[in-house]
Amino acid sequence: MQEKIYQVAVGLIPGVGAATTKTLISYCGSAEQIFKTPKGKLKNIPGIGDVTVENIQNKSVLEEAESIVKRAEKLDTQLLFYTDADYPSRLKQIPDAPTLIYYKGSVHVNPAKSIAIVGTRKATEYGKSVVRKLLEDLAFYKPVIISGLAYGIDIQAHRDALELGLETIGVMANGTNIIYPSVHKNTAFKMIEQGGLMSEYTFDSVAEPMRFPARNRIIAGMADITLVIEATQTGGALITADIANSYNREVMAVPGRITDATSEGCNNLIKQNKAHTLTSATDLIELLNWDIVPSQTTNKQLILTDLDDDELSIYAVLTDNQDIHIDELSWKSQLSMHKISSVLLQMEFKGIIKALPGKKFALR
């Protein structure tokens, strides 16, 4: 507990941000040693001046930190310092990662797969239906869904994830003991049991406008990929996408009609090559190489029950061939070229096969 008090205290020192904290840790060895290092040695650290040294020596910082640690225990909130083993590993990879995270939840913050879903606060029914469809199709892979608990696309992503049995984490621009907006309290409480709430801001901090862009960097940093479902020309979703790009993380956007204001941002991201086009879950699965499905036997049984005789003939041939030209496929399945073309198209719509260059086909 004592080291945790020192870790929290570092973030409370006036004028000491994340970069300075990391410098102090690298020279002193630990958060505790920062406060136990003599003034003279502190002044020799690059970027540390007299004012900062005096602020470090101020005992009120440690007193405030102790009260925060005690409160965190009462509120069942984890305090994750960036040197801790259980600090989000994805965040450690970004240059402006927060040094301390407040986390209240039941889910480990280092999941195997994680997806950020962001978008406009004025989501349309189309945008909401896209979120639902994507999560339904991705549920097999059990990704943790990251978003910002805001109106519109964010809360839709959280709610759909909960309904589909997926874990979901909300990143907030205020303290984890405050739910903002308050109308999302019921969803937030469910998320604590099936996910979590995360913030870099201490208890009782309110959501101020300047904190939302900073919150967005954590959303982008926590995820393998950021999906922009609907976005206008300006807004937080585009900021999150830009941040994700700066971290060399994948970004995908759902295209929309050129007359729809809520699609302008997505269309521009795609046009400017800042996002891959997202038209189905398959696009994401292939981009992230999630193609390999563990339960092949179960999947095969489900597929076979849904095929007619012609489709079964093609399926049998493709099972024995990695990829095959349509002419050879026609001959081996005993289907005419006219017939096989329509059957292949139908199987492609069902997501059973995929077309390859050179008029070749293979199983998905």
In this predicted model, what pLDDT tens digit does every residue of 107-123 receive, in sequence order?
989 999 999 999 999 99
Reported confidence tier of residue 320, pLDDT bands at 50, 70, 90 = confident
Q: Mean pLDDT across the stretch 92-109?
A: 94
Q: What is the Cα–Cα distance from 170 to 219, expressed in whole angstroms?
A: 8
Q: Answer yes or no: is pLDDT of 14 > 50.
A: yes
293 has pLDDT over 70: no
Which residues, 6 or more positions from 137, have their beta carbon under 8 angstroms from its beta carbon?
280, 281, 282
Percent of all residues in the chain with a pLDDT value above 90, rounded to a whole number: 69
Higher pLDDT, residue 297 or 112 = 112
What average pLDDT score do residues 159-183 get?
97
What average pLDDT score do residues 329-351 get?
A: 83
Angle at 338 between CA 336 and CA 343, to 5 degrees: 90
Global pTM value: 0.78
Determine the pLDDT at residue 295: 44
The average pLDDT across 25-43 equals 91
Question: What's the confidence (pLDDT) of residue 297?
Answer: 41
Q: Is the pLDDT of residue 298 over 60?
A: no
Share of the chain above pLDDT 70, in %: 95
Number of other residues whose CB lies within 10 A of the CB of residue 334: 11
**Are the C-beta atoms of 224 and 195 separated by less than 8 Å?**
no
Tokens 């549920």 found at? 139
Give 140's DSSP letter: G
**Nearest C-alpha neighbor of 226 from the set 112, 114, 93, 116:** 116
The mean pLDDT value of the chain amounts to 91
Average pLDDT rounded to a whole number, residues 245-249: 96
More confident residue, 330 or 278: 278
**Run of H or E residues at 325:** strand 324-325
Consecutive H or E run containing 64: helix 59-74
pLDDT at 305: 61
**What is residue 142's predicted lDDT score, i.e. its pLDDT?**
94
- Range picked from 12-26, 314-328, 340-354 for highest mean pLDDT: 12-26
pLDDT of the residue at 111 = 93
